[in-house]
Structure 1
Amino acid sequence: MDASVIVAGAGPTGLTLAAELRLAGVDVIVVDRLSGRTGESRGLGFTTRTMEVFDQRGLLPRFGDMGTSDAGHFGGLPVDFGVLDSVLQAAKTVPQSTTETILEGWAGDLGADIRRGHELLAVRDSAEGVEADVRGPDGERRLTARYLVGCDGGRSTVRKATGFGFPGTPATLEMYLADIKGVDLEPRLIGETVDGGMVMVGPLGDGGITRIIVCERGTPPQRRTEPPSYDEVAAAWQRLTGIDISHAEPVWVSAFGDATRLVTEYRRGRILLAGDAAHIHLPAGGQGMNTGIQDAVNLGWKLAAVVRGSAPEELLDTYHGERHPVGQRLMMNTKAQGLLFLGGDEVQPLRDVLRELIRYDEVSRHLAGMVSGLEIRYDVGPGRHPLLGLRMPHLELVGDQRKTSSTELLRAARGVLLDLEDNAVLRGRAADWSDRVDIVTALPHGLPDDSPLAGTSAVLVRPDGHVAWAAPGSHHDLPMALERWFGPSRTPRS
């Protein structure tokens, strides 16, 4: 075969998946129909959970200084994200073009074969593998692999060619987005309503670029094959605000709607979907790109384990089982936010009530956790430990040799058994999985009394950073958890 895995799409989701596979030693080919990165920046910044994911892999230094903040919103209503239990804040102004450049460099450094200018034409799945017909600069050829993952966006060729169901609701309106230069506009928060619609203004870093979003109520969606002209955007802006921005220099212009769709399944045999290929929605709270990146991090280590033969194919079923509910909540909360910041005067009473509720920390924590991705809890088995299924929080650690942290231990994208009590018996029970799981003995440093890790003697952390087992508190033993998530023991049970 040409590769173990073919990834269709070299956006943030596909590039993250390629890097995760290469961290596990799996050969991967990434194909993308565009000959180069577009330089456009539909996605802007990272949620708190994506910041944590990038920190787990040691990626944050590659981004340099990022503007981070605890200020957030839900449907245009301000929410204090400082109530979240993370040592990191969301990044607000990292253009998607920068993100793609850095992720492509990371995946390339790890040895991913990234082929731009290669358009996927057709896909066929069989019991033996996957065939993909691709047209590149040298003509058409057929690539073969064991698995193929469609990360090729909302109009996914992979999804359409392989018959995935994509139910949902079509767009009911059209919004314009433009990054412009040479104009001085007062900032306007997302969701600021004006007579006849909604507008937003925000600076993008220090480069003199301003992002605007404009939506006129009653504007039906158009079936466009090209982006709108800047004249259309400027005219809509003047109608809603009375301000003439026609003299500004457009960097790029786009249109989008509020279509909301989620695939019925994330996996069909040897074909899997991730990112916008699996879910599209109104871009509210910057969740789309971030959810796609987290799809990739959930899938990468599982797919690698199956390809390497260390785990059974059934492990891939947990990808749908875990990420489809995340997609459902994404659909729900983006629809709710759309009602809040795109609705007219009839929605104002709802805004007023929610504004009052957000003053309560518990409500802010719930909404911030939903948008940030920190609320996600996977079903990893029964138990009472408060962290089961949640992401492992950052924990400073002191070992025999040096100081480390729960975040640093995930750099290699392997499982980690963290022994917090120097328990030789525990370590011995996990020894048969040491080729897949790093067994680390360390003591917590500066653990607050109210930490969910207080009183914890050991934690099993998956490569994606989620807690799969903890003691005390799990209702199944450590070998069962290790076998469920990392495959059979090297020593068969008698």
Structure 2
Amino acid sequence: MTEHSTVDVLISGAGATGLTMAIELARRGISFRLIEKLDDPFRGSRGKGIQPRTQEVFEDLGILDRIVALGGFYPRQREYNDDGSFTESDAMLREEPTPAEPYRLPLMVPQFLTEAAMRERLIELGHRPEFGCELINFEQDETGVTARLKSRSGEETIRVRWLVGADGGRSFVRHALGIGFPGKTLGVRAIVADVVLTGLDRDAWHRFGEGDMQRQIALCPLAGTELFQIQGPIPLEGEIDLSAAGLTALVSERTGRDDIHVHSVSWASAFNMNARLADRYRLGRVFLVGDAAHTHPPTGGQGLNTSVQDAYNLGWKLAAVAAGAPDALLDSYEEERRPIAAAMLGLATKLLDALKRDDIKRGREVHQLDIGYPASSFALEKPERHGGLLAGDRAPDAPLTGAAGQPIRLFDLIKGAHWTLLGYEVEQATTPPRPGLHIHRVGRRGDVIDESGHFRDAYAPASGDWVLVRPDGYVGAIVSSRDAWALEAYLDKVGLGPAAARS
């Protein structure tokens, strides 16, 4: 057994959640290892919906355009009646983009394509996952975690400052910590399979037997591939034939058609739907993210999105504390993210009940644009605001004009690993510059001009207000110029205090 030197973070699990965490750490120069016990990347499309808020996250990570190019939008759903007639409807709420919300439609991108784009981005940043490497034991103390890894080349022991369990619903990390995972099995067992088939066109999401949990089956063309995804409930007990022949027979039985033929299966799974939430997200120097902390039924397309945003929330905080910010910043991860998962579990379960009644409508509530952290201990308002944008809310986008005359989006100013401080109609900066903080003055004599009033409409600032946007695109603080002392105290709390200003 070999012993290796310290890195800051060990990430166990290289799915979408672990990859998000790795990208966040890589672009901040934090040392880490990303390990995955599987020998190869996941080949399935279990999580195929990319919600609008996750699209904003992916834009910040530098991968949105390539992910859009890999996938597409959801087709209309075509519900067939027993006589072969059908009706068509939108599967998703269709809303036009606005200046504040540039992405309003869920994307369909098979999970294996999303993760491939994320690995490509990670390689650009100088890192890659270690496949065939498994975490088999760990112990923690006050200063770090000692972890034992097993790979094809043998066993090794490494020392890290923090361990992140991104290792799925059966999480070894969660089990080893003894953290409870209460919830319920929802009494629904289902199949999901990515297949090559003939007999259906690719311009619709074909749905048969809606509302009948014995006969229901859906066949959806997977954007960016030649595949269809088959989904349907199955009996709670018994073996299911997931071969091409077995799936062809199941489709024929449920559709009443003999012209739909499955020719090959690239990935298939039979699973019981669960709704579970870990009792806690942190124990000492070990954290749970993604499915290790919460499992959802697939209705509503919330699982992958909630998981990516867990890592997006924790990643910058780990980096900040690694650079000297107070440890309390890490406590805010569970404080902010666990209530979100609880709400998403309720939503996904509600949508599953609606699916059983053939009354499912996926509206704005699945887009995750309204998620925020207004109750967070890292949300500050001076003076307190009533209505409009609040500290803890998602920071809206806004088209602006640079002082030199070129158009610029607010998201372009926010994008990256830094904090962003926006002064509205301020005379001068009341906060000195410091590493990790970008300061912009919005107004007639500022470096960016709100010509069309979109910033004013979205943020509802008073003249002289300062809006501090966190690295994850949420509003950390809104303070008036006369309360600049409170802003300095806040910056000190997140590791951007007077010492950073002097450096």
Q: What TM-score do you get using the length of structure 1 for normalisation?
A: 0.85
The CA deviation at 1:422 is 4.3
- What's the CA shift string for 1:120-167, capped at 9, x where partnerless? 111211112111111112101111100010111111111111112111
Give secondary structure in 1 for the equivalent of 2:198. Answer: coil
Distance 2:454 2:326 in 1: 39
Q: CA deviation at 1:231?
A: 4.4
Q: Distance in 2 between matches of 1:241 and 1:80?
A: 27
Distance (whole Å) between structure 1 residues aligned to residue 457 and residue 223 of structure 2: 36
Superposed CA offset, 1:267-319 (max 9, x none): 1110001111111111112211111111111111111001111x111110100
For residue 437 of structure 1, what is the aligned residue in structure 2? 437
Matched, 1:313 2:327: yes
Q: Partner of 2:168: helix, strand, or coil?
A: coil
1:108 Cα deviation from its structure 2 partner = 2.2
Tell me if 1:370 matches 2:365.
yes
Are 1:460 and 2:468 counterparts? yes
CA apart distance, 1:247: 4.5
Aligned match for 1:10, one of 11, 14, 22: 14
AA of the residue aligned to 2:440: V
Within the candidate set 139, 143, 154, 1:124 is matched to 139
Partners in 1 of 2:165 and 2:368 — Cα distance?
A: 22
Mapped partners of 1:11, 1:324: distance in 2: 20
Deviation at 1:418, TM superposition (A): 1.5
Distance 1:83 1:341 in 2: 26
Does 2:155 align with 1:140? yes
> How far, CA to CA, are the matches of 1:176 and 1:247 in structure 2?
15
Provide the C-alpha distance between the structure 2 equivalents of 1:63 and 1:195, rounded to a whole number of angstroms. 34
Residues 93, 364 of structure 2: 8 Å contact kept: no
- Answering whether residue 477 of structure 2 is matched by residue 469 of structure 1, we say yes
Instruction: Summarize the alignment of residues 87-102 of structure 1 with structure 2, pairs less than 5 Å apart.
Output: 87-102=102-117
Retained in 2: the 8 A contact 1:70–1:81? Answer: no
Residues 492 and 91 from structure 1, CA distance in 2 versus in 1: closer, same or farther, beyond 3 angstroms?
A: closer
Distance 2:330 2:490 in 1: 16
Identity rate, percent: 32
Equivalent position SS for 2:187? coil
Superposition deviation, residue 393 in structure 1:
1.2
Is 1:193 the counterpart of 2:211? The answer is yes
The answer on whether the counterparts of 1:28 and 1:112 sit within 8 Å (CA) in structure 2 is: no
Is the 8 Å Cα contact of residues 7 and 151 (structure 1) preserved in structure 2?
A: yes
Distance 1:157 1:126 in 2: 19
Measured after TM superposition, the shift of residue 2 of structure 1 is 2.8
Tell me how large the CA RMSD over aligned residues is: 3.1
Deviation readout 1:1-52 (Å, 9 max, x if unpaired): 4310000111111011111012221111101112221322211131000111
TM-fit CA distance, 1:180 = 1.7
Which of 267, 277, 289 aligns to 2:292? It is 277
Question: Offset of 1:97 from its aligned partner?
Answer: 1.0
SS in 2 for 1:172: strand
* 2:73 maps to amino acid: T
Verify the 8 A CA contact 1:175 1:256 in the aligned structure 2. Answer: yes
User: What is the alpha-carbon distance in structure 2 between the residues aligned to residue 237 and residue 473 of structure 1?
Assistant: 65
- The structure 2 residue matched to 1:175, chosen from 190, 195, 198, is 190
Query: CA offsets, 1:358-401, max 9 Å, x none?
Result: xxxxxxxxx73431111112021453162221111111222335
Instruction: Give the distance between the partners of 1:30 and 1:375, measured in 2 at CA.
Output: 31
- How far does residue 59 in structure 1 lie from its aligned partner after superposition? 1.9
| Alpha-carbon distance in structure 2 between the residues aligned to 1:283 and 1:229 | 22
What secondary structure does 1:192 align onto? Answer: coil
TM-score normalized by the length of structure 2: 0.84
CA contact (8 A) 2:396 2:458 kept: no
The answer as to 2:41 corresponding to 1:41 is: no
Report how many aligned residue pairs link the two structures. 463
**Corresponding residue for 1:446?**
452
The unaligned stretches of length 5 or more in structure 2 are 78-88, 442-447
Q: CA–CA distance in 1 between the matches of 2:207 and 2:478?
A: 42
Q: 1:399-455 deviations in whole A, cap 9, x for unaligned?
A: 33554322112332211001232431xx232x26x2121112222242349823244
Residues 109-120 of structure 1 aligned to structure 2 (within 5 Å)? 109-120=124-135
Match of 1:80, SS state, is coil
Matched, 1:68 2:77: no
In structure 1, runs of 5+ residues without a counterpart are 356-366
Alignment of 1:198-237 (within 5 A): 198-205=216-223, 207-216=225-234, 219-220=235-236, 228-237=242-251
Query: 1 CA distance for matches of 2:216 and 2:307?
Result: 27
Equivalent positions of 1:16-35 (< 5 A) are: 16-35=20-39
